A and B are shown apart, each in its own frame.
Chain A
Amino acid sequence: MSEETKVKYEKPIPLKTLDNTPYWDAADRHELALQKCNTCNAYNHPPGPSCASCGSVDVIWENQGSVIQGKVYSYVVSYRPFLPGFQNDIPLVIAVVELDHLPEVKIIGNILNGNAENVTIGSAVNMVWEDVTEDRAVPQWVLA
C-alpha cells in the first residue's frame, strides 16, 4: 500500500469484536471466512455469539478461500454521504450479494466499479479486498 492511500483512507474501519474477529482476520489475509453452525448446518452472516437460525452455541469458522463470486440480490445507489469519509465515493453503490456457492449467505459491500447504469439485480460480481491500512483489508465487490 502506498503512503498516499494510508493518509487518504477516512472511512470507518471494521471493528473487530468478540464475535466477528475471525471474519476480519481472514479479510486481512484476503480470504473469506464464514461462521457455520454444527447443529443445523446454517451459515451465519453476520456472525454472532450463537447460531441465529437455531440458537446453538456449537458454531465454527470455515474458510471459503479467495475466489468468491456472487450475484447482486439487491442494492441502492446513494448520492450523498450519510457517514463521514464517503464524500469522495458519491454516487456510492451498496449491494447485498448472494454468494454463488452458498446462496443463503448474503454479504453487503460496495460495488467499486458500479453505478446506477451498470448495476442491476442479478449482476455478477467478484469479491476483492481493499487494503485500507498497513494491516487491515476490507472485502468489496467488482462487476465480473
Chain B
Amino acid sequence: MSTIRNKYAIVGVGESKRSKNSGVTPLHLALDAARAAIADAGMDAKDIDAFMSYSEHDSCTPHQVATYLGVRPGVVKEIIGGGSSTELLIADAVGLIETGQAKTVLIYRAMNGRSGMRMGGGGWSTDLLQSAFDGGSFIIPYGAGSPGQWFGLFATRHMHLNGLTQEHLGHVCTSFYEHAQRNPNAFFYGKPLTMEEYMKTAHLSSPFTKHDFCLESDEANAIIVTSAERAKDCKSTPVHIMGMAARQSVSHAHYWKNVDEVASDYVAPELYKAAGITPEDIDVASIYDCFSWVVLRQLEAYGLAPKGEVGDFVAAGNLRLNGKLPTNTAGGMLSEGYTHGMNNVLEIVRQVRHEYAGTNRQVENCEIGICTGWAGPDIAGAMVLSK
C-alpha cells in the first residue's frame, strides 16, 4: 500500500442532524449528510461517480442516495459490515480510483440507531439472532445477546492479565466526555462526567457501566474521497491518506476463544509500513470506541502506549486535549454520537485540516492523525492521515 502514499485525499465531510428520534427515514439522513459533504468539498453532486455504504440492514441503499441526488453514477456498492467498514470502504474507493473505475467516491453511513434498529439489541427474535450469528446457538441461549457482553468477555480477561482497573476504563470515559463539553453537537454536551461519579455508577454488564457503552443515535455521516490531483480543485483543505491496512484474524465473529490477539495487532505494523511513520509521529487520534475497553486494547495494539502501561498512559491524562495523544476529540461514540465509527473519521479529518483553529477544540500543531476501525477482535481497518 506504500505505492498509494499521499496520492488520495478526503476532500469532503458532512453530517445530518443528530438526535434520539429523527422522525425521518435513514434515506433523508443520508441525503442531508451527502449534501453537506458535497458542499464542504465545493463540488456538484454530479462530480460523484461512485456511492458506497455499509449497514446492518438498517440503512438506505447507495442506489437510492444517488437517485435522489439526481446522479446516475458508475458504481453503487453496499456492504454488510461493522465498525471497521469506513476504513475498508475508503480503501475500496482508492482501489476504484487507482484502477480508473471511478474518479470521486462518496461513502456514507445512515441509521436511525436509536429510534429504529438499535445496535445494542432489543426487539429481535432470538431464533433469528441464533441464525444470524455464526455460532449463535452457542451464545444466545445463554443470554449473551449484546455486544456489551461479547466485548466484556474479552475485556475481563485482558484487564485481569494486564492490571487494568475500573478506574482506567473511567479515564477513557471522562476524557471523551470532557471533549464533548466543547462540542455543542455532542449528545452529552452539557453533561460532564467526573471520576467520582463514574466510579459510583453500577455495572450494566461487567466490567462496563452505562458510561463504558457507546450511545445510540439517529444520524448520517458522509465522506468524499478523490485523487490528490483532483483535490487541488476542491474548496476544502485536502487531508491525504498516508497509508491504510486491514485484517481479519480471530475466528468466529461472536464467539472468541482467545483474548491474546486481536486483528488490530496485525494491522498496526502493516499500517505504519504503508504510511512510512512510527507511532511516535502521531499527533491526534480517532480510536474506535464502541466500549471504553476497546480504546485501551487498541492503544496497546497500535503501539500508542507501551503494552502493560496503557492504564498509566490514560491515567496521566494523555487522551485529553493537552495530553500526549488527544483522542476522540469530539467526544467519540461514548459521548458525541454513534454512526458505527464514521463520526470519529469526520473528527480526525477536521483536526488534521485545523478546521477548529482559533477555538478551544483544535489540537495545536497536529500534522498526522490515526483513525482506527474495529468491527470486533476479529476485523480491523485503520488509516493514517496528514494535511
A14 located at the interface, meaning its Cβ lies under 8 Å from any Cβ of chain B in the complex: yes
Given contacts A12-B127, A46-B135, A96-B153, contact A86 B143 (CB under 8 A): yes
B156:A78 contact, CB within 8 angstroms: no
Taking a contact as CB atoms closer than 8 A, the residue among B121, B135, B252, B257 that contacts A83 in the complex is B121
A65 located at the interface, meaning its Cβ lies under 8 Å from any Cβ of chain B in the complex: no
B140 located at the interface, meaning its Cβ lies under 8 Å from any Cβ of chain A in the complex: yes
- Cβ of B252: which chain A residues have Cβ within 8 Å of it? 46, 52
Shortest beta-carbon distance from B325 to chain A in Å: 28
* Interface-side segment among B102-110, B144-152, B274-282: B144-152
- Cβ of B126: which chain A residues have Cβ within 8 Å of it? 12, 83-85
Q: How far is the CA of A4 from the CA of B140 in the complex (A)?
A: 23
B202 located at the interface, meaning its Cβ lies under 8 Å from any Cβ of chain A in the complex: yes
Q: How many residues of B contact A (CB 8 A)?
A: 39
A11:B141 contact, CB within 8 angstroms: yes
Instruction: List CB contacts (< 8 Å) of A74-103 with chain B.
Output: 74-86, 89, 92, 94, 96
B149:A46 contact, CB within 8 angstroms: no
Instruction: List CB contacts (< 8 Å) of B166-180 with chain A.
Output: none
Instruction: List CB contacts (< 8 Å) of A15-45 with chain B.
Output: 15-17, 20, 24, 45
Per-residue CB contact flags for chain B residues 342-356 toward chain A (1 = under 8 Å, else 0) read: 000000000000000
A129 located at the interface, meaning its Cβ lies under 8 Å from any Cβ of chain B in the complex: no
B204 located at the interface, meaning its Cβ lies under 8 Å from any Cβ of chain A in the complex: yes
Taking a contact as CB atoms closer than 8 A, the residue among B134, B144, B207 that contacts A108 in the complex is B144
Residue of B nearest to A110 (CB): B142
Q: How far is the CA of A105 from the CA of B148 in the complex (A)?
A: 23
Given contacts A46-B135, A84-B126, contact A79 B203 (CB under 8 A): yes
B205:A78 contact, CB within 8 angstroms: yes
Q: How far is the CA of A37 from the CA of B157 in the complex (A)?
A: 28
A92:B143 contact, CB within 8 angstroms: yes
Residue of B nearest to A104 (CB): B257
A60 located at the interface, meaning its Cβ lies under 8 Å from any Cβ of chain B in the complex: no
- Cβ of A144: which chain B residues have Cβ within 8 Å of it? none
B127:A15 contact, CB within 8 angstroms: yes
Residue of B nearest to A12 (CB): B126
A82:B142 contact, CB within 8 angstroms: no
Taking a contact as CB atoms closer than 8 A, the residue among A14, A15, A108 that contacts B255 in the complex is A108
Shortest beta-carbon distance from B321 to chain A in Å: 33
Per-residue CB contact flags for chain B residues 151-193 toward chain A (1 = under 8 Å, else 0) read: 0111011001000000000000000000000000000000000
Given contacts A14-B130, A73-B157, contact A78 B255 (CB under 8 A): no
Shortest beta-carbon distance from B376 to chain A in Å: 15
- Cβ of A92: which chain B residues have Cβ within 8 Å of it? 143
- Cβ of A74: which chain B residues have Cβ within 8 Å of it? 153-154, 156-157, 160, 259
Residue of A nearest to B126 (CB): A12
A80:B204 contact, CB within 8 angstroms: yes
Q: How far is the CA of A74 from the CA of B149 in the complex (A)?
A: 11
Shortest beta-carbon distance from B141 to chain A in Å: 5
Q: How far is the CA of A81 from the CA of B146 in the complex (A)?
A: 10
- Cβ of B138: which chain A residues have Cβ within 8 Å of it? 14, 20, 45-46, 107-108
Q: How far is the CA of A106 from the CA of B203 in the complex (A)?
A: 25
B156:A83 contact, CB within 8 angstroms: no
A121 located at the interface, meaning its Cβ lies under 8 Å from any Cβ of chain B in the complex: yes
Q: How far is the CA of A105 from the CA of B257 in the complex (A)?
A: 8
B130:A12 contact, CB within 8 angstroms: yes
Q: How far is the CA of A11 from the CA of B205 in the complex (A)?
A: 19
A76:B153 contact, CB within 8 angstroms: yes
Given A45-B138, A79-B205, A108-B139, 6 further pairs, Cβ under 8 A: A12-B129, A78-B149, A81-B143, A84-B126, A96-B153, A109-B142
- Chain B residues close to A by CB (< 8 Å): 121, 126-127, 129-131, 134-146, 148-149, 152-154, 156-157, 160, 202-207, 251-252, 255-257, 259
